[in-house]
A and B are shown apart, each in its own frame.
Chain A
Amino acid sequence: MPGWLIYFIIFGTIFGAFGGAAVLIWFERRLLGIWQDRLGPNRVGPLGIGLALADVIKLFAKEDWVPPFADKFVFVFAPTAIVMAMLLGFAVVPFAPGIHVIDLNIALLFFMGMTSLAVYSVMLGGLASNNKYALLGGLRSAAQMVSYEVFMGLSLMGVVMLTGSFSLVDIVNTQAEKGWFVFSQFFGFVAFMMAGIAESHRLPFDLPEAEHELVAGFHTEYSGMKFGMFMVGEYLGLILISSMICTIFFGGWLGPDFLPPIFWFTIKTFVFICFFILLRAAIPRPRYDQLMIFGWQYLLPLTLINLLVTGAVVLWL
């Protein structure tokens, strides 16, 4: 690989991720509109796509207010953490053969580490705001993320057993031989998807912000671009989780030959983004204790049994 190409890929990944997040602002609202028999934003530019740009300009131009009762150091630090962690998570995603920032032999663990670091953003934002609603949002996010991180890790271990490696490139290459892991690891896929939604705190598991009960949860006090960073972080998380599902369970760049691999990757990721938006449009938010009981009483045994059965199959078959 020539030296300039890696820089090209790095910048391409960063700009692609940010651009995707910006377009998602528009795309999500448009898609929600379609599923709720509305039109969604369609005024700015063709099909309303200029809304993404207008939203970014609005966020930059808004007053960036730090409340006087807030802990300023943490208050400013918190929104940057989620964007940083999510962008770093993109470093290990293989887009196509040879097109990845880095092929770590611990890529899956690195991804989990980055998603677990993204928790701090929400927690510290809630803590530093010095606001009851924000604090409650932060508390909820802490418990939710720590619990669901467990199932996220356990649900992936079956795939790791079948592949014998943590490297995402190896995982995709194994799927070329053994078929997509969504068939052999179906319960792992279900658990990973649930945990992914909870980790990126998207609806239906967006209890940290829960507009109906907590005003805006952890980002009640945030305005301007600091709020925008939380927003971008959430969309980056959505794209990251979608591309991870696509890579780990749906064969990544694998697909028939009439399209180049990177297109297959993009299409699959796009389908999962749409699926997450569909979940948001269709399914109501569970109560907090329901979320926790669901995690510890159903997902944990499910992933453990999945792990055991996979281990037995790998060992004796």
Chain B
Amino acid sequence: MLELALFYLAAGISLVSTILAVTRVNATHALIYLIISLLASAIIFYLVGAPFAAVLEVVIYAGAIMVLFVFVIMMLNLSPAGEAIEHRWLQPRMWIIPALFCTLLLAEITYMLSRGDNLLMGHMVGPKAVGLELFGPYVLAVEIASMLLLAGLVGAFHLGRRYLTELREETS
């Protein structure tokens, strides 16, 4: 019973903060609401028995990716003029296509829920089980992801090294 209440609380917070994240004109406020939404969905993950996914949501999405978003906002030097542009973009007719997509998603969720299967009845999936699954049946996906990451790493190193050598030449 308590879990159900917590679930609806977290879901409500997630929903409200996501709506707020979309409608805010101030980019910083929108990001904070997005972070709150991510944390709320992490709680939902935990409640449905996926603590590993919940913590990854916090560490990777809230803790790393959103940090980079805030970092970018810091670099952009946003001004009140930008907020005015945001205001102009938030016209009612801009909502049509997102609303269509949302309706589609809502219909999908309603269909899934109407099939029964109480979602809170899921069994606990510990980190070990996730690891066994990842390196068992899904090892191909893990390898592809790791190759992508390796490519990213090499690329970043290449860019950074060129900058460093230029810097050294300038200083010497």
Contact surface of A with B, Cβ cutoff 8 Å: 71, 73-74, 77, 104-106, 109-110, 112-114, 116-117, 119-120, 123-124, 126-128, 135, 138-139, 142-143, 145-146, 149, 153, 164-166, 296
* Pick from A74, A119, A164: contact of B29, CB under 8 Å: A74
Known: A71-B26, A124-B32, A166-B127. A109 touches B59 (CB 8 A): yes
* Interface pair A146/B64, CB less than 8 Å apart: yes
Interface string of B41-64 (1 = CB under 8 A from A): 000000000011011101100111
Stretch at the interface among B2-10, B66-74, B84-92, B132-140: B66-74
* Pick from A116, A120, A165: contact of B70, CB under 8 Å: A120
Chain B residue at minimum C-beta to C-beta distance from A143: B71
A86 → B minimal CB distance (Å): 14
* Interface pair A105/B127, CB less than 8 Å apart: yes
* Interface pair B74/A117, CB less than 8 Å apart: no
Chain B residue at minimum C-beta to C-beta distance from A296: B160
How would you classify the secondary structure of chain A's contact residues: helix, strand, loop or mixed? helix
Tell me, in angstroms, the Cα distance from A149 to B58 when the chains sit together. 13
Chain A residue at minimum C-beta to C-beta distance from B26: A71
A127: chain B residues at CB < 8 Å are 28, 70, 73-74
Known: A106-B127, A143-B71. A117 touches B62 (CB 8 A): yes
A123: chain B residues at CB < 8 Å are 67, 70-71, 74
* Pick from B56, B75, B160: contact of A109, CB under 8 Å: B56
B155: chain A residues at CB < 8 Å are none
* Interface pair A105/B51, CB less than 8 Å apart: yes
* Interface pair A117/B63, CB less than 8 Å apart: yes
B16 → A minimal CB distance (Å): 16
**Which 3 residue pairs across A and B have the least CB separation, nearest first?**
A116-B63, A113-B58, A109-B55
Known: A74-B32, A106-B52, A109-B55. A139 touches B67 (CB 8 A): no
* Interface pair A113/B70, CB less than 8 Å apart: no
* Interface pair A104/B71, CB less than 8 Å apart: no
A172 → B minimal CB distance (Å): 18
Tell me, in angstroms, the Cα distance from A124 to B27 when the chains sit together. 12
* Interface pair A71/B126, CB less than 8 Å apart: no
* Interface pair B74/A116, CB less than 8 Å apart: no
Tell me, in angstroms, the Cα distance from A109 to B71 when the chains sit together. 23
Known: A73-B29, A117-B63, A120-B35. A106 touches B73 (CB 8 A): no
Interchain residue pairs with CB less than 8 A apart (23) = A71-B28, A74-B28, A74-B29, A77-B32, A106-B51, A106-B126, A106-B127, A109-B56, A109-B59, A113-B59, A113-B62, A117-B63, A119-B63, A120-B70, A123-B67, A123-B70, A124-B28, A127-B73, A127-B74, A142-B67, A142-B68, A142-B74, A164-B128
